[in-house]
Structure 1
Amino acid sequence: MVKLLTKMTEPRILRSNIPVVDVPERSVGEYIWNKLSQLNEKSICLINAESNEQLTIGALKHRCQAVATALLAHGIARTDRLAFYGQNTIPHVVLRLATKLLGLPVCPLSPTFEAYEVDQECQSMGVTVAVCSASHLHKFSRLLQSDYKHNIRLVVVFDGHHDSHVTYDQLLVEGGDRALTKVPHFPVNPDVDPVILIHTSGSTGRPKCVMLKHKSILALLSERGHFLDPGTGTDHVIGAPYPMGHISGTSIIPLQLCLGARLVIYPDFDVELLFRSIERYKINFLPTFPSFGRKLVEGDLCDKYDLSSLRIVNTGGSPLAASISLAIIDKYGVGFREDNNSKSWNS
């Protein structure tokens, strides 16, 4: 019995058969910048499905640098923490990436939050800079009227104009053609410094802030798309319905950009807009929600639009009925794969 117990307690290491990728970068901002710099600057990387606004790799890099330098001119410091609230738009993505180039932590706020939740989350995370869309600025009213308001050193409004607060368009003008002298601008210790601060839902206890360090996110980014699809790259057009206020949108969108994929984003998610965008932009990779699976095989929309460009559909986060999975396989003639609570259909 003693021998058996000894054998059972011996350490076991389980390794994937995917080759380990060495990541020389020591910060997420440095990683993102290096990857973007290797891509074709003329390639379109972001598309707004509602407005058809499009951005190239070159323009994305230029805007990120302009915004980052302008934020420094407004007094952004190494101790700052930036909270983000708003729709998935190109300015939102630029502001997120600029924050990473500076080496500062991002604090995503769920789109379900109202003023009370925004107030409580920002105070608990020690937020000093609020970044939000113009249409959601009222969600910060409680915070900006509380005793904590003196800790908020800057408010940045995107997707709109404001008389009192700094706007995204203003930052672009102020930054002009300036660029950071180094990336990240502020020193980063990957083993200690957080790159994302996000609250859990509380399903395993009281809601609490999770600090994701640079080292952890670099490990995710180093997979180079393996958890999405080993072949993800410049030939992929990806629909991105995940809100940037959730961990999926926060972590996956930068990864997809680094892989050189063309990303279609949705400011206000609408099922028909998603179907229409699949047909319009020939989306071939669709990460989506389990509840969306039924819409791919039932209702009028799945036959109203041409979805034949889809090669990969991926879901995760909750179970998907086997009957729906089989119906998707039958309707679209794709293969089926499931692992780690994530399902994907591959043509």
Structure 2
Amino acid sequence: MICLPDLFRYWANFRPDDEAVVCEETRYTWRALIAAAEGVAAELQERGVQPGDRVAILLPNCAEWAVAYVGLSLAGAALVPLNPRFGSFELEAIAENADCAALVTTPAAGRSLAAHFALDGAETEDTLVIASPAARALPPTPFARAAASGALARQVATSPDQLAAIFYTSGSTGLPKGTMQTHATVAAFLMGYILSLKFTSDDRALIVAPLAFTGGCLSLLVPMLAIGACAIIEPAVDPERILHRIESERATFMTMVPAIWERLPEVPGWADADLSSLRVAMTGGAPVSRELLARFRAKGVRIRQVYGCTELGAMGCTPPEDLAMARPETVGFPQVTLEARVVHDGRDCAPGETGEIWVRGPQVMRGYWRDEAQTAAAFADGWFRTGDLVTRDEAGVITVVDRLKNMVISGGVNIYPAEIERALASLPMIAECGVFGAPDPRWGEKVVALVHGPEAIDPDALRATLRELLGPLKTPREIVVSPAPLPKTVTNKIARTELPALYATLSIPPAD
């Protein structure tokens, strides 16, 4: 079986002068990318990194991130991406769990891991370095020196069952869990993904999502590198710049959370922007309004809503383009490398009935790193239990309802916040919304909606509108207007765990 390092070297020979990675003013051809990556791989091997060892990258989005990733792959190591926006508690927990053999970072970014890696001796706090575990007492090597060394790594055999990456979940429900992706699971994911979206070597992906997450790395960077295409990496979320880069780089592929898509039509130059190159546009993780979809469709951009999770390697379901336009609330069908069931109380659901989506197939993670108990709890007879609630119709089309843990039980009735959020998102006065359950002495739980908009919102009028859209049973019993935007996670999704605290703060009566 051909593994990723084989593909990377292949494209350096087959398309040496074509662009592989672009970030701001830095442009790597395939020849230059592999030359730099070989130097990084040789340095890792010199530091004792063996095939199957873990190597962490703790950097913001940058061209060096891609070089480091390809380099560690050539050395036979497994990627452990770390997000610079994580706090020290989360970073240290991951470092201890992953037990990495090397770290690519800057002393400033890696300060919270100084007890784990030897970072002293760098020229400046912002010098990009390759560091070894503190116990080895090796001074760090400047990344630029390794990349420019011209050294060639020892070629190592990579097997399909060898670990390719550990992607850690966000930790919103506790300590981060490391999902194990082998070269075989990554290859299976890529096959289904590339087939469903018809990617070719001529595609150019504009990457806005953090590379530290599967949404940026495995959904965007890795597919482009695997097929010899081009990854255009953005260092930060800047809507005006994103709009410009779509035009100037002739981007063909983007995936962003709804909160970022929503900001593009508001920037100067939107009316005259040429987005005709954008062939594949995707979103997920939150409801998307039909109004937003219509604004992009008017400019020739067809945004599809997709479904995935870290344990699936990123993407799980994708709708064909025509289905996405006709029924934008659906996420289509499982990838060809996945089977899916919709299950409730241990039985398969009837068409249209809400249940948890269970999946199995070669792209599903091999388990949680060094956590047999969590792995066992996540699977049932070989099926991965996603924790996501969906419906599936007679034609097999899947619609995401909500996360199982988000479900509100009010008066014995199951109510799904995402359904209410979709209704709210369809209203022009709502810019952001978050729905959750709060304790209620009569009903057990009550549905609360926190909303934010560009203009004044009348909660009573909004409730009346929702009664028309949702009926009285699902209409929030309480609607609270936030004067500021709602809290976000590091991936720009609404931070659900922070909503109850914000609700409590906004509900305090003003002092006399």
**TM-score of the superposed pair, with normalisation by structure 2:** 0.53
Tell me which residue corresponds to 2:225: 257
Aligned amino acid, residue 167 of structure 1? P
Tell me which residue corresponds to 1:70: 43
- 1:323 Cα offset (Å): 2.4
Does residue 191 of structure 2 align to residue 225 of structure 1?
no
For the aligned residues, what is the CA RMSD? 3.3
- 1:210 Cα offset (Å): 1.3
Aligned amino acid, residue 221 of structure 1? L
Does residue 107 of structure 2 align to residue 107 of structure 1?
no
Tell me which residue corresponds to 1:42: 17
Deviates most, 85-94 or 285-294:
285-294
Q: Which runs of 5+ in 2 are unaligned?
A: 131-138, 308-316, 326-512
* Greater C-alpha radius of gyration: 2
Q: Which structure 2 residues correspond to residues 60-99 of structure 1 after superposition, within 5 A? A: 60-78=33-51, 80-99=53-72
SS in 2 for 1:235: coil
Q: Give the distance between the partners of 1:154 and 1:80, measured in 2 at CA.
A: 24
- 1:162 Cα offset (Å): 6.8
Cα contact 1:312–1:345 (8 A) shared by 2:
no
SS in 1 for 2:14: coil
Tell me which residue corresponds to 1:29: 5
Cα contact 1:316–1:343 (8 A) shared by 2:
no
- 1:299 Cα offset (Å): 4.4
**Residue deviations 1:34-72 (CA, integer Å, cap 9, x gap):** 3x2463211112211x3x211111111211112211222
Does residue 260 of structure 2 align to residue 292 of structure 1?
yes
Q: CA distance change for structure 1 residues 181 and 212 in 2, over 3 Å: closer, same or farther?
A: same
Aligned amino acid, residue 320 of structure 1? V
Aligned amino acid, residue 201 of structure 1? S
Q: Give the distance between the partners of 1:122 and 1:204, measured in 2 at CA.
A: 19
Q: Percent of aligned pairs with the same residue?
A: 22
Q: Give the distance between the partners of 2:124 and 2:73, measured in 1 at CA.
A: 18
Does residue 251 of structure 2 align to residue 283 of structure 1?
yes
- 1:344 Cα offset (Å): 8.3
Greater RCO (Cα-Cα under 8 Å, separation 6 or more): 1
Tell me which residue corresponds to 2:114: 144
Cα contact 2:22–2:233 (8 A) shared by 1:
yes
Q: CA distance change for structure 1 residues 31 and 257 in 2, over 3 Å: closer, same or farther?
A: closer
Q: Give the distance between the partners of 1:343 and 1:203, measured in 2 at CA.
A: 28
Does residue 274 of structure 2 align to residue 306 of structure 1?
yes
**Residue deviations 1:136-190 (CA, integer Å, cap 9, x gap):** x334323323xx558x99999997367952111121244x1x32342xx2x4443
Does residue 201 of structure 2 align to residue 234 of structure 1?
yes
- The correspondence for 1:271, drawn from 224, 227, 239, is 239
Q: Give the distance between the partners of 2:51 and 2:201, measured in 1 at CA.
A: 34
SS in 1 for 2:216: helix
SS in 1 for 2:215: helix
Q: CA distance change for structure 1 residues 342 and 294 in 2, over 3 Å: closer, same or farther?
A: farther
Q: Give the distance between the partners of 2:61 and 2:128, measured in 1 at CA.
A: 17
Structure with greater helix percent: 1
Q: CA distance change for structure 1 residues 149 and 47 in 2, over 3 Å: closer, same or farther?
A: closer
- The correspondence for 1:246, drawn from 203, 209, 213, is 213
Does residue 87 of structure 2 align to residue 119 of structure 1?
no
Aligned amino acid, residue 71 of structure 1? L
Aligned amino acid, residue 205 of structure 2? I
Structure with greater strand percent: 2
**TM-score of the superposed pair, with normalisation by structure 1:** 0.76
- The correspondence for 1:201, drawn from 162, 170, 173, is 170
Q: Which runs of 5+ in 1 are unaligned?
A: 1-23
SS in 2 for 1:238: strand
